[in-house]
A and B are shown apart, each in its own frame.
Chain A
Amino acid sequence: MKKIIKLSHMVNDFAENKDVAKKIRIEKIMPALTEGHEVVLDFGGISGATQSFIHALISDPIRKLKNVALDRLVFKNANDDIREIISIVYRYMQESLD
């Protein structure tokens, strides 16, 4: 099953609040992934994000759940800047898994 998390409901136009990222990770992303859901992070309405925000959002699922997170996390409506930051976090987290 798919779980859609609409970030704009919890995050400002520019996503920089790591406390919010941590809350979304702990309360929504991790439980949904652990239960076997595909998790769609919808960035609609968000114009930008810091690397720290994205790291706080997805690095722990990647480290703890490895391929489960890498295969089941989906990013929707992310603009080019946000896509690039997500890609950077994906790359360095995978480098650190081995």
Chain B
Amino acid sequence: MKVGKENTAIVGNVPDTGRYLDRMGLYDLSKTASPFVCHQKEEAGRFVPIKVIKTSNDQSRFITDIIPLLHLSENNATVVKYVIGELVRNVLEHAHTSNGAVVVAQYFKKTNRVSVGICDTGIGIWKSLNTHWHPKTDIDAINLALTPGITGTTRREGGTSENAGAGLFFIKSIAKITRNYFVIFSGSAEYTLLKYPKRVKKAPRLYADPNRDPHRSTNDLPCFQGTLVAVDISLDETPEFNDLLVSIGKVYDDAIRERKRKKYKEPRFV
């Protein structure tokens, strides 16, 4: 794939598996003529091809439309709506791009999971957080973005009237509790939450610090100006959404309290 400032093209020989990219709409998105001739598979119950979302009304429409396409139960639909709702909103609000959010979703029958990918060509996480938090590197910025209560819009506890700095922490926590992958890539950095093993019966423990979670991270990838988030949602492993929220809420509370306590002055003993 060749990516320029004004245009994008898929170049060279693409193997036959490229049909999948074609069906998901990547050739259309990059305005490249597809070399594949294929019968288009029915979308319903399988996947949602690439959609570009530029406004909050587009977002609401997409969320309303996607659920019937993926044939999800009520509980699973709530989780998918929640994840897409928060991630797309992050792009619309923080990416500062006129290109919008590029969203795609696929249901995998064999593993009974939904994979969601959301990408933008905006300013990236480092720049988004730099005004108030001054992260040194892209991976520092990603770690901050995953920490509860950290938002690029202020340093004030509780956030602003529109932002609390909870969105990505909630999504990462949903992925962890449901024992799934969660990947975030921005600038030169990537953070991948590793899957919590199924053989461990105990429920995964949530941490405010993303570095305490089993993960893989790097800060030396080829630079990608925007942000990409990919998350899997296992439909078998998803507990009641309310139980998820209770667990996430507890860790969130503790994290906020802990950070507040760090600002308290210590008594001076002589």
- B142-184 CB mask vs A (1 if < 8 Å, else 0) is 0000000100000011110111101100100000000000000
CA A56 to CA B167, docked complex, whole Å:
13
CA A67 to CA B68, docked complex, whole Å:
42
Interface stretch among B18-26, B195-203, B239-247? B239-247
Contact partner of B167 (CB less than 8 A), chosen from A48, A52, A85, is A52
The answer on a CB contact under 8 Å between B158 and A92 is yes
Residues of the B chain whose Cβ atoms lie less than 8 Å from the Cβ of A84: 242, 245-246, 249
Q: In chain A, residues 9-25, which have Cβ atoms closer than 8 Å to a Cβ of chain B?
A: 12-14, 16-20, 22, 25
Residues of the A chain whose Cβ atoms lie less than 8 Å from the Cβ of B194: none
Q: How far, in Å, is B107 (CB) from chain A's closest CB? A: 19
- A36-72 CB mask vs B (1 if < 8 Å, else 0) is 0000000000011011110110011001000000000
The answer on a CB contact under 8 Å between B78 and A95 is no
Contact partner of B253 (CB less than 8 A), chosen from A18, A56, A59, A95, is A95
Residues of the B chain whose Cβ atoms lie less than 8 Å from the Cβ of A85: 245
Interface size on B, residues (CB 8 A): 37
The answer on a CB contact under 8 Å between B164 and A17 is no
Task: Please indicate which of the listed interface residues B158, B166, B167 has the most CB atoms of chain A within 10 Å of its own CB.
Answer: B158
Chain B CB within 8 A of A80 CB = yes
Category for how many chain A residues contact B = 20 to 34
Chain B CB within 8 A of A74 CB = no
Q: How far, in Å, is A67 (CB) from chain B's closest CB? A: 16
CA A60 to CA B163, docked complex, whole Å:
10
Interface SS of B by simple majority: helix
Chain A CB within 8 A of B257 CB = yes
Q: For residue A21, which residue of chain B has the nearest CB? A: B162
Contact partner of B78 (CB less than 8 A), chosen from A25, A81, A92, is A81
The answer on a CB contact under 8 Å between B59 and A16 is yes
Residues of the B chain whose Cβ atoms lie less than 8 Å from the Cβ of A63: 158, 161
CA A50 to CA B63, docked complex, whole Å:
12
CA A97 to CA B158, docked complex, whole Å:
8
The answer on a CB contact under 8 Å between A18 and B167 is no
Residues of the A chain whose Cβ atoms lie less than 8 Å from the Cβ of B260: 95-96
Closest 6 A/B residue pairs (Cβ): A96-B158, A16-B85, A60-B161, A96-B157, A84-B245, A88-B249
- Residue contacts A-B, CB under 8 angstroms, 19 given: A13-B64, A14-B64, A16-B82, A16-B85, A47-B78, A50-B82, A50-B86, A50-B167, A51-B167, A53-B85, A59-B164, A60-B161, A63-B158, A81-B241, A84-B246, A85-B245, A88-B253, A95-B256, A95-B257
